[in-house]
Amino acid sequence: MAARDVIVVGSGINSLVCAARLARGGHRVTVLERNEELGGCIRTEELFPGFRHDVLSGWYPLFVTSPAYAELGPELEARGLELLNTDTPTAVLTEDGQWTVLSTDRRANVQRLGAVADGEGQRYADELDRFLEEDSGLVFGFLGSEPMSWRASRLVASEVRKQGTRETASFLGRSLETSRAWLERAFASDLTRALLAPWVLHAGLGPDDAYSGVMARVITASLELAGLPVVRGGSANTVAAFRQLIEDHGGELRTGAEVERIVVRQGRASGVRLIDGEQLDADAVFCNVTPTQLYGRLLESEHVPHHVARDASAYRYGRADMQIHFALSGPPNWPDPALADVPMVHLTSGMDGVSRAVNEAQRGLLPAEATVVVGQPTAVDPSRAPEGKWILWIQLQELPSVVTGDAAGELSAPADGAWTEELREAYADRIQQRLARHLPGLDDQVEGRRVYSPADLEALNPNLVGGDPYSGACTLDQFFLWRPMGRTKNHETPVKGLHHIGASTHPGPGLGGVSGYLAAGQLL
């Protein structure tokens, strides 16, 4: 295909993958980022002297298993990207002090879960084997394809030929199962359920959401197969490697370049206009934004069909997120030393606790007992902190964007429901107190704490509307064929030459870069 001038709006993982593929393919690529640093949700900052924190995202199992990494990985590694991993990616610690670990070693998982409950290890093996042998080809194939494409159609047709119509229909029915239904049916132990249930939060779901069961199996399989990789020195090194790759192939990346308008001539995108009035011409434009921004701000209304504008205005955003970063004087005092080697531990009272916190957040309440995602990047990459010291990366994915009350009855909601600095710190205090009950001496170890409320997250990145880290609710009506909307096809838009990428588009959020990969394929 002849070389084209291409503009990519935004510089998150999907933008970088898209730009890298197109630049390698001979196109003239310009990436425009409104902030002063590239990366979108990939940002590493020295929040405290000597401590390099991944402020937002920081875990790469979806990237290392993606087609983008298969294609671009060697060139990124040649430019300094180094991924570090572990054989114990995740664990759970319950409020009553029980714990267990999930490994990348199947035999170890069978043995460990077998000790949790009689026969539990074999049940785990049977469930994962069934998914990998019978369902994974269709699931991973669909998540890695444009949903409305001949490739996706051939994938389904092949599955029907291989397994038969009834078995394929049975799979489609199973795929709608909630993770609660799957976990209660498949496992006997509440501890096993507590180990796996919190992971659906990382897909923007709750245990009682449709299709959360299949997503729980997808994530469990990914953890066992790929672990939980991190980038040596911080995720900003991912951005640096992409930048060098794009520039080495003739691309340009600009910061402080906020797009005000997509320029459309005769029904086709012909470039963009920046807020300072500068206009850049292009043959194709790729926008890593929410549908609210794309159809409500960047495009003139005359270029947006009424039904698309209506659907975009109805696009829903999900629960909000809070990030808490701790700089510690040393590793925390876990109930068992094995937990210090695990990069991500969930602190929860169990599957019902996850469900309860999700429900409270969806009703506007601060959860009384939120699921605490305890990330330990220094367990895998000690270079991020001064020698002997430690980082805790805390994520809370069950918070309301607008606060109407406190399920615990302790904190007062602001009259307008907005997150204030006072509320942010008070809720972080609650989380720190819970952690300290399980990690003796934690308060004395804290050398620094930085908290980002949902409002702070949206201020960092406008795609995180209301603090939603996934750029839109991931429930079934806004996923697969319907992400972002049922009336748009794949990553196309009603404007020719304008492509929509990012977490708001198929296949949804995560650091896989798949939407950028798929959309770039339209010009390759």
- pLDDT tens string 274-331: 999 999 999 999 999 999 999 999 999 999 999 999 999 999 999 999 999 999 999 9
On whether both 217 and 245 belong to a single domain, the answer is no
| pLDDT surpassing 90 at residue 159 | no
Q: What is the pLDDT of residues 375-399, one digit of tens each?
A: 999 999 999 999 999 999 999 999 9
Which element (helix H / strand E) includes 111? helix 106-116
Single residue among 181, 197, 226 that ends a domain in this structure: 226
273 beta partners:
261, 279
Q: pTM here?
A: 0.97
Query: Which residues, 6+ apart, have CB-to-CB distance to 165 below 8 Å?
Result: none
On whether both 116 and 213 belong to a single domain, the answer is yes
Q: CA-to-CA distance for 192 and 199, rounded, in angstroms?
A: 12
Segments forming the whole domain that contains residue 176: 105-226
For the chain, how many structural domains are there in total?
A: 2
- Position 1 scores a pLDDT of 63
Provide mean pLDDT across the span 332-354. Answer: 98
How do beta strands 28-32 and 252-254 pair?
parallel
On whether both 189 and 151 belong to a single domain, the answer is yes
Query: Which residues, 6+ apart, have CB-to-CB distance to 329 below 8 Å?
Result: 389, 390, 444, 445, 446, 447
Q: Is 431 helix (H, G, I), strand (E, B) or coil?
A: helix
Q: What is the pLDDT of residues 239-275, one digit of tens each?
A: 999 999 999 999 999 999 999 999 999 999 999 999 9
How do beta strands 498-501 and 284-288 pair?
parallel
On whether both 217 and 129 belong to a single domain, the answer is yes
- CA dist list (Å): 4 to 113, 361, 494, 502: 55, 46, 20, 22
Q: What is the pLDDT of residues 4-49, one digit of tens each?
A: 999 999 999 999 999 999 999 999 999 999 999 999 999 999 999 9
Given pLDDT bands bounded at 50, 70 and 90, which one contains residue 165? Answer: confident
- Token pair 């296949």 is found at 507
- CA dist list (Å): 523 to 6, 214, 271: 10, 32, 16
Q: CB count, 10 Å around CB of 322?
A: 24
On whether both 222 and 245 belong to a single domain, the answer is no
Q: What is the pLDDT of residues 213-227, one digit of tens each?
A: 999 999 999 999 999
Tell me whether residue 67 is in a domain: no
- Token pair 């205005």 is found at 313
On whether both 222 and 238 belong to a single domain, the answer is no
The widest CA-to-CA distance across the chain, in whole angstroms, is 68
Single residue among 173, 203, 226 that ends a domain in this structure: 226
Tell me whether residue 325 is in a domain: no
